[in-house]
Amino acid sequence: MDSDMEISLDRLPIKRLESIEENGAERFPSDVNYDDKRVSLIRRIDFAWALEEEDELKKKKQKKSSKESSEQWQWKGMVENLQLAHQELSVIIDLINTVEANDAVTVAGMTKPKPMPNELLSDLAVSTATKLQSYRHLGKYFKQSAKALEQKVNREARFYGALIRLQRNWKVKRQRVLASNASNEGFTIDLSDSSLYDPTSGFRPSTLSTIRVEHDSAGMLAINLPQDSWYSLRFGFVGLNSIDNPNESAEHIDSTTGQDTTSEKLSVSDEESVKETHSLLREVHKSIFAEQLFDMLNREAFSEGVGFSISGIRENFLEMSIGQGASLFVSLYPSGKNASIKKSESAIVPMESSGGIELVEGDSRVKKLGFPSRASYDIYLQQIFHEHVFGKAKDQTKSKSSQASNQTAKDNNSGLLDHFCLSLAHRIFSTRVVVQLESVVCKVPYLHLISHPTWNSRTSSWTVCMTVPPSIIPQGSSETQSLDGKRNLKTQFRTKVVVKDDCISVEAECTPNVVGLLKSSSCNLFSMNKYECDLADLPVIILQQVTSQIVCWLLEEARTVGTKASRDFLSLSLEIVEGERVSLVAQVNPEDAKGCISWWLVMENGCTEERKGVSESRKLLGHLSLDVLYSVLMDLINLCGSGRNPLDRL
């Protein structure tokens, strides 16, 4: 209690006037609550000294741990800075969001902060890198498209190269295809010949005549045709095994033009594939021609024809009998790899299975029947049809102005089938004629057979030649001259055999007459005579003709010497003495294997004609060659001179 006492004086609890306003209103301070009083009292107390103590304590603590917590302080500063920045950013973001959401508030303007140099550099680097990247990209794109274009160019070069090569031989047409698929550019190959088609003749272009050109898997030109869609003409005789198969070689070609498997195609070079395509087109072209031919045959088959009669019609098959015991068939059959399975049913034996022996047998059978080679007649049929069609086309182009309607009736029947069948029949017949002629000529050694080309399919001609030995009688003044002043020196006798369709006619001189020649002058002897005969009689007729020529020749020879000789059919008589005659008589026998003409020497006594059997002596001389015969004649002539019995000498 030594310190001074401090006394505080409260104000009297009198309400004191706080302020007076102008209008005289008085303001009194508001009443203070009891708590407020206490708080204000507490406030009066000065606690500064306590605070100072606290600060001192804190400072001491800080000094102790200043080093340890210096960083904490710095981080704390950074943390506080970041927090402040975060707060500011969030404010800005909120502001932006509000601006965005709020249409009423818009951004008036923005100023970009000035970029710093390293930002500039990094922007530049980025843009440069992007540009380089895009250059690289572009470079790769160019190179890729260059490669693709090169491939496309090469592929198209192959395709168009092949197309150009085909265009040299075939008509290539193009239709612009509107469809978007680029695989088919609309090329077609047109195999029809428009110059041949006119509405009157009724030729219709076949379905095969337009062929699409396509690409194969490698982009090369290819033509896809089903195997059996093209045909070829088959021709043959019913009942005859095919010996020569002309279509074999065609089938061989067909097998190589068929569609190969894809593995084989890779090894085929461009040139070969073009060749294959070309061969295929050839086959189809031929097939179109064959179809036209068959069409024409069908149409003509219904018209009246002399040379044929239809005996059967099926699809793509026509059978007719042409006379001479032959029956012909013409058919269209699909040619391709499996054509052998689908051959027509006329007993055709494939050639591969027949051995060599069968060939010989068949050959002789063909010879017996006289059927000509199928190939030759196949070709002939095609040729006459082609000439007919071509000639008609030519005529049409010439006479297009004169459209005579009455021509069509004639044109419909051009008689081709008729002509063809007659030719075929003629050929069969003439083969038989040749067989007969050969059988005669082979047996007689001094006969030769010559055949002549007639350039007419329905006419054939041959000559049987006989060369006689030359005369040993010199030309003298005493010989008889023929009426025309020339000496009949014959060294060769000819017998001409002409066959027209199926008529045989023989033309020769010194024709044998059954009735003996009344006049023995030589002018009648060597006249040409023409007569007809049958096939069965032909050998005998020929032999008789030849023998008669020999007799005439001998007669002429005898007459040149002056001997009294006469001729009667096939015998030559010489008068030796009065009433006695010696004759050389010929006997012809076509079946004789050693020689068909044999000679007899007959001695006759004229006064004993009634008793021929007794006073006629015969001696068979046999088959004599012409030289021997001539010498016999000379001997007889000598005998005539001397008058002795000729038979004693022999």
List contacts with another protein (CB under 8 A). Answer: 132-133, 135-136, 138-146, 149-150, 153, 157, 164, 169, 171, 191, 193-196, 244, 246, 249, 282, 285-286, 289, 373, 375-376, 378-379, 382-383, 386, 390, 393
Report the residue number, 98 or 195, with the smaller CB distance to another protein.
195
Pairing of strands 528-533, 565-568: unpaired
| Closest CB to another protein among residues 157, 266 | 157
Residue 603 Cβ vs another protein, minimum distance, rounded to whole Å = 44
Q: How far is the CA of 429 from the CAs of 114, 208, 242, 535, in angstroms?
A: 121, 40, 20, 9
To the nearest whole angstrom, how small is the minimum distance from the Cβ of residue 379 to another protein? 5
Cβ(189)–Cβ(210) under 8 Å?
yes
Nearest distance in Å: CB 563, another protein: 42
In this complex, which beta carbon is closest to another protein, that of residue 89 or of residue 157?
Answer: 157
28 vs 141, beta carbon nearer another protein: 141
Q: 525: which residues sit within 8 A by CB, 6+ positions away?
A: 509, 510, 517, 552, 555, 556, 567
The least distance separating another protein from the CB of residue 191, rounded to whole angstroms, comes to: 7
Query: Measuring CA to CA, which residue among 468, 489, 485 is closest to residue 559?
Result: 489
Q: How far is CA 514 from CA 278, 519, 548, 552, in A?
A: 69, 14, 11, 14
Closest approach of another protein to the CB of residue 538, in Å: 26
State the minimum distance, in angstroms, from the CB of residue 285 to another protein: 7
Least distance to another protein, CB of residue 384, Å: 10
Residue with smaller CB distance to another protein, 170 or 446: 170
Considering the complex, state which of residue 430 and residue 544 has its C-beta at the smaller distance from another protein.
Answer: 430
Cβ proximity to another protein: between 169 and 456 the closer is: 169
Nearer Cβ to another protein (246/469): 246
Nearest to 564 by CA among 646, 637, 481, 487: 637
Q: Which is nearer to another protein, 350 or 643 (CB)?
A: 350
**Nearest residue (CB) to another protein, 145 versus 454:** 145
- Looking at the chain, how many residues does it have? 650
Q: Which is nearer to another protein, 427 or 490 (CB)?
A: 427
- Residue whose entry in the numeric block shows the structure tokens 């095919």: 242
Name the nearest CA neighbour of 241 among 342, 377, 324, 363: 363
Judge whether 447 and 546 are in contact, CB under 8 Å: yes
3-state secondary structure of 263: helix
As a whole number of angstroms, the distance between CA 213 and CA 9 comes to 130
E strand spans, 299-380: 309-314, 317-323, 326-334
DSSP single-letter state for residue 267: H
Report CA torsion sign: 139, 142, 148, 150: negative
Q: In the complex with another protein, which residue's Cβ is closer, 64 or 136?
A: 136
Least distance from C-beta 278 to another protein, angstroms? 12
Q: Closer CB to another protein, residue 374 or residue 567?
A: 374
Instruction: Output the smallest distance, CB 377 to another protein, in A.
Output: 10
- Sequence-distant (6+) residues with CB within 8 A of 411 are 200, 201, 392
Q: Shortest distance, CB of residue 193 to another protein, whole angstroms?
A: 4
CB 488 within 8 A of CB 482: yes
Whether 615 contacts 605, CB under 8 Å? yes
Closest among 451, 448, 474 to 461, alpha carbons compared: 451
DSSP 370: T
Report the nearest approach of another protein to the CB of residue 376 (Å): 6
3-state secondary structure of 646: helix
- Closer residue to another protein (CB): 37 or 143: 143
Residue 70: CB minimum distance to another protein, A: 49
Q: Is 126 left (phi over 0), alpha (psi -120 to 50) or beta?
A: alpha
- Picking from 194, 281, 170, 167, the residue whose alpha carbon sits closest to that of residue 230 is 281
Taking the alpha carbons at both ends of the chain, their separation in whole angstroms is 222
Q: Which of 347, 313, 350, 309 minimizes the C-alpha distance to 330?
A: 313
Nearest distance, CB of residue 512 and another protein, angstroms: 37
CB of 245 to another protein, least distance (A): 11
The CA angle 461-464-469, to the nearest 5 degrees, is 155
